[in-house]
Structure 1
């Protein structure tokens, strides 16, 4: 399982029911993605039942499709871009975020936990887009869930875990994991790995999540995928700490990012650009998810004062200082460029290197075309000086090969040639060469060619920035349009779909039931004495009551059920492929969940109840409105018979004997009493409070 937790211990924790787990539509999505015969259309229909997840999925797809020309604006497109495993993991992560935004553990910063998890998710996605070790969207999910063990311990042991956090704050202890093991015989790292393994994440992710906080203990080979993902998680965690630190400590913490980036093959400007991009995305995601974020200064300006004391190489220190002083175009520090020389003549390479380094450029060299190809894809130079004639792979063959790659298309290539014949130069330009330098190389002519190339590179970068701005604007517009659509279909107080959305879904379910012949049920839920609460305590208390009762209903319904708020204190539950007996059982579970919940609002502890009417589609119903009306009549019957009960005016399958019994808080209406009622009478599940 990728952790040291005993399997039996973990199974006991799972069996307790307290372990954070996906809810509602997310659970249905996860189950669907495990089916061998799943169709994207079927998955899209389930996803659309959760408007909030739709917006988050499309936004994530636009991030994963970075660089594509067409922005993702529909669920179907998002599924194609992300793939089923990523959609499953995102449903898991976002469901946990929505369901565990708060809890009973004092001292645990729930909002800070999820804000930090979001930073790690975005960082992992950005790193993946650069190093291509794993799919970017899957790395996003790994970052989001990489510290889930902390939330799990706070959820399972809210009181004791709060005491552990208090010890850390009072400086009586310094290591969270040590304190956790002493208190619970496990730590959050081990529990994170166990949970990720249980949810089916790849072992590659499970192992790295267990070790990224203690990377020195990892035994991964230096160039392995595990090591790269581990280093990426270390960088993501360091950026999380930097962003969430006290402003006075951010500079010192931010300086530690450079050696971590260096291990991933990133130079200073790349680390700065990555961090600034992550912060911008964090602010945007924070607005979408309603998480607390902070404006962070540009990384180059933030770390300049502290970098001299950081454990980075001399080259990196010089680059940080130089980059901060220059303040020039991203990717090109002042007039400096990354230049790759490819020539089989060592004397020529030495000569060119000296000339370029004196001009302030970063220089790399290769002694053959194949090595030059590998190095070009690795260091991504701005410019290349390539000898036209080399054994094994000529400069023109190297140019043609590079132009076939995404990275190679943007490199400015100068061919070094001793031939000034027109046909040779035409062939070079046809192969993709941008310019040429005649051999023997004259320093002034080379400098002029470099300046001309630099102007072209600078213009290319400006164009790319403009394109990226347009892509970002289009993606933001698509997300905003989707958000507006969500707002039009969502009740802002409870987060449930509203009446308009419920009517659309009812029409769809009605049509599907008619085609398949499968049963369809509906519940109408009404909060008992809600008007008295508003009149006695005010509408602010009433709003808190609605939110807390909504949470209880959401926990009690099944994954395939749709809950909507259709009025002030009225809810509609749609139960597809469900007969009346099963719907009555579900309704009773919902009623009990509300009844046992102790609602705290306005300093008051309120015992609340609901009346639920249940109805099943039958042959004499002409349309969905008739089904809702029949369920509403059941709710009216429940109110008339004393409230706090479930009722239907229909007959359950198998007669009255098919109706379930109900246990009261203090009394119990026996099953024999329910069975004794005549089958022609309304079925009422009674509870006397």
Structure 2
């Protein structure tokens, strides 16, 4: 599906939500104004702070976030200007949307567990922040906001259509998203994307909330990786905040492996979240008893700390549920004579408990008539235990219509009872054989998956080492070359502007000579953090060599790139910390695709940087590209 089709789809979904004429979740006016200011690109820190001060709660929360675990290791601050510098102008605007939505009124959602929704949202945000820090894909606080709002569509749909959105009636085994699509024509993920686009989030971010499995154009920037990160965050939050005691982990294992994370890395990430969760919950005013939060983390950690279960069921075991379920009864005697271990449960409630406790291979449900409550129970069992349970239903009134209803409810077979014992045993043996075959296939799949995880981990580590500067954590020359080639091709094809900014710290050698290389390294790392906070997720800031950095600005002309470079220059000039004051110079050049190469753009930016140095340093100079000896002058 093309991007234009998705945008048209978003418009349709918003129209359907608004047609309900119910109050929908909406960011504050200040948050929306911040989003508009960021879209203009020339907005600086002080303009953003002036706007943010219109909402005292937002200012307080911004300072709290800047002092939170999202920015661990940095000094505490009480000034909103420092907080904005730390968070970044664009990231702050998007974070403001999330912060104001968390504090939205809830009186129009009486039957919806709003606190649980934001508890899961906080878990998703913390996972996204940790993944972003590991993969260096987008700024951590921007990833946190994306995780926080990735399921905001569920809240909007619940407001428009009622709590049934999150807690649908029994739907014959259909998933929540399937039920939503059948009931309203779209699901909560699609609604989330529509809302984020409406609130002026970048395309790459709102595309990421649409699962990779759906027909989505994940072609914008790092959309595919972001979408996979969102899927993993949703899976962790779903397992962490699940109402059921047993976690469902296959999706989490698979998604984490595709991100280069093995089982141990996932457990480490969970432990980090466990530490950060209480403080972030207080900032967001998410209420959860400490003992409950601890129990949820401990339950999921215990499930993650062991290998996925392969086949821990009792061998050749069967559970008989119904009036004939009595030890020593004729039915049980036939099964025991065949060497099976037989569990019995007269009623459905005990049957459910024994299924969860012992997980037998075969379930035999006996009843005179397969009434509605029995069929509903069968659906529940099939949905919870999946195909690795053979379900045989016995009835004294075997009719075609009844048989069809039973099979539709999840039964593997239906048999008239009383029946020939040999026929009963043949069907039970067939069921046990089928379950053992599935277990063997699952074992092979798990073995292959383990090898895949290990290979993915090794490849991810090798790629990280090959494409990342060890000191600053920025992309290195190799990563920059790949990004430049793709950005150049995309810009030339679409006729979009592309600009490069060459940045160099002034008198950096003097800092190394006077204070030592350790202090120089601290200065370089502090500068890269400050500069990175000013960039967009679609740009790349890379280390060129020594104290030189390169910023590639997609869809940006020289004038806008120079304005961005000037904001960066001022931000570095205003830096404070346990290191000497430092300034930087910058050279800017815009690509001209007719008769030029990307090397020409970099050379022009380097020449502009040289003019900035000769002009007194601590300044920004733009320079046209020189092609075939054409003269150029600094602007």
1:14 to 58, 66, 90: 58
Distance apart, 1:558 and its partner CA: 3.6
Give 1:557's aligned residue.
535
Name the structure 2 match of 1:532.
510
The Cα of 1:607 is off from its aligned counterpart by 1.0
Alignment correspondent of 1:222 = none
Match of residue 624, structure 1, among 589, 593, 598: 598
- What is the CA deviation profile of residues 418-455 of structure 1, one whole-angstrom value per residue up to 9, with x for unaligned ones? 45499xx6xxxxxxx8824xxxxxxxxxxxx78x9768
Shift of 1:632: 0.6
Q: Work out the CA distance in 2 between the residues paired with 1:606 and 1:24.
A: 25
From the superposition, tell whether residues 612 and 494 of structure 1 become closer, same or farther in structure 2 (CA, over 3 Å): same
Which residue of structure 2 lines up, in the alignment, with residue 682 of structure 1? 634
Alignment match of 1:361 (pick from 343, 348, 372): 343
Q: 2:522, 2:229 → 1: CA distance?
A: 23
- The equivalences for 1:300-449 within 5 A come to 331-332=312-313, 337=317, 339-341=319-321, 346=323, 351=329, 361=343, 363=345, 364=351, 367=367, 368-369=369-370, 370-379=372-381, 382=389, 384=391, 386-387=393-394, 389-390=396-397, 397=404, 400-401=407-408, 415=415, 417-420=417-420, 435-436=426-427
Q: Give 1:606 shift.
A: 1.7
Residues 385 and 414 in structure 1, CA contact (< 8 A), matched pair in contact too: yes
Partner of 1:238: 295
Q: Secondary structure at the match of 1:556?
A: coil
SS at match of 2:305: helix
CA distance in 2, matches of 1:135, 1:118: 6
CA deviation after TM superposition for structure 1 residue 580, in Å: 2.2
Q: Following TM superposition, by how much is the alpha carbon of 1:484 offset from its aligned partner in structure 2, in angstroms?
A: 3.2
| Secondary structure of 1:14's aligned partner | helix
Contact 1:366–1:372 at 8 Å: present in 2 too? no
Residue 591 of structure 1 deviates from its aligned partner by: 0.8
Report the 3-state secondary structure (helix = DSSP H, G, I; strand = E; otherwise coil) of the residue aligned with 2:529.
Answer: helix
Which residue, out of 607, 610, 615, partners 2:589?
Answer: 615
Alignment match of 1:80 (pick from 179, 204, 212): 212
Q: Give the conservation status (yes or no) of the 8 Å contact 2:508–2:547.
A: yes
The structure having more radius of gyration, on CA atoms, is 1
Secondary structure of the structure 1 residue equivalent to 2:445: helix
CA pair 680-464 structure 1, distance change in 2 beyond 3 A: closer
Unaligned runs of 5+ in 2: 1-22, 31-52, 67-86, 97-130, 148-206, 256-265, 346-350, 352-364, 626-630
Aligned partner of residue 598 in structure 1, secondary structure: coil
* Alpha-carbon shift at residue 585 of structure 1 (Å): 1.1
Query: In structure 1, what is the equivalent of residue 615 of structure 2?
Result: 641
8 Å CA contact 2:396, 2:418 repeated in 1 = no
1:213 and 2:187 matched: no
Deviation at 1:6, TM superposition (A): 11
CA displacement 1:258-311 (0-9 Å, x = unmatched): xxxxxxxxxxxxxxxx65432359xxxxxxxxxxxxxxxx9xxxxxxxxxxxxx
CA distance in 1, matches of 2:223, 2:275: 18
Matches within 5 A, 1:291-306: none
How far off is 1:598 after superposition? 1.9
Query: What is aligned with 1:485?
Result: 463
Q: How large is the RMSD of aligned CA atoms in angstroms? A: 6.0
Q: CA deviation at 1:360?
A: 6.7
Residues in 1 aligned to 2:215 and 2:432: alpha-carbon distance in whole angstroms? 40
Deviation at 1:612, TM superposition (A): 0.9
Contact 1:579 1:616 in 2 (8 A): yes
Distance of aligned partners of 1:455 and 1:547 in 2 relative to their CA distance in 1, 3 Å threshold: same
Q: How many residues align?
A: 418
Q: What is the aligned counterpart of 2:526 among 545, 548, 554? A: 548
Taking the aligned partners of 2:275 and 2:588, their CA distance within structure 1 comes to 42
Contact 1:523 1:614 in 2 (8 A): yes
Note closer, same or farther for the CA distance 1:416–1:633 as it changes in structure 2 (3 Å cut).
same
Return the alpha-carbon distance in structure 1 between the equivalents of residues 554 and 604 of structure 2. 16
Distance 1:6 1:480 in 2: 45
CA contact (8 A) 2:558 2:590 kept: yes
Q: CA separation of 1:275/1:330 partners in 2, compared to 1, >3 Å: closer, same or farther?
A: farther
Paired with 2:65 and 2:572, the residues of 1 have a C-alpha distance of 21
TM-score (norm 1): 0.47
| Match in the other structure for 1:207 | none
Q: Secondary structure at the match of 1:563?
A: strand
Which residues of structure 1 form unaligned runs of 5+? Answer: 32-46, 61-74, 96-113, 153-187, 194-209, 215-233, 243-256, 258-273, 282-297, 299-327, 426-432, 437-448, 652-678, 684-689
Q: List per-residue Cα deviations over 1:3-35 (Å, max 9, x = no partner).
A: 9x999999423256536498699899999xxxx
- Output the CA distance in 2 between the equivalents of 1:383 and 1:126: 26
Question: Is 1:519 matched with 2:497?
Answer: yes
What's 1:279 paired with? 305
Q: Kindly report which structure 2 residues correspond to 1:548-587, keeping only aligned pairs within 5 A, or say none.
A: 548-587=526-565
Give the match's secondary structure for 1:590.
helix
Aligned to 1:496: 474
Q: Which residue of 2 aligns with 1:192?
A: 284
Deviation sequence 1:476-498 (CA, Å, 0-9, x none) = 53454345334422223222222
CA distance in 2, matches of 1:93, 1:24: 26
Secondary structure of 1:597's counterpart equals coil
Q: Matched residues in 2 for 1:329 and 1:558: separation?
A: 45
Q: Alpha-carbon deviations, 1:95-127, whole Å to 9, x = none?
A: 9xxxxxxxxxxxxxxxxxx9xx99767534896
Please identify, of 475-484 and 499-508, the stretch whose mean Cα deviation from structure 2 is larger: 475-484
CA deviation profile, 1:313-335 (whole Å, cap 9, x unmatched): xxxxxxxxxxxxxxx98552x56
1:471 Cα deviation from its structure 2 partner: 2.6
Q: Is 1:123 the equivalent of 2:236?
A: no
How far is 1:567 from its partner? 1.0
The 1:549/1:383 distance shift into structure 2, 3 A limit, reads same
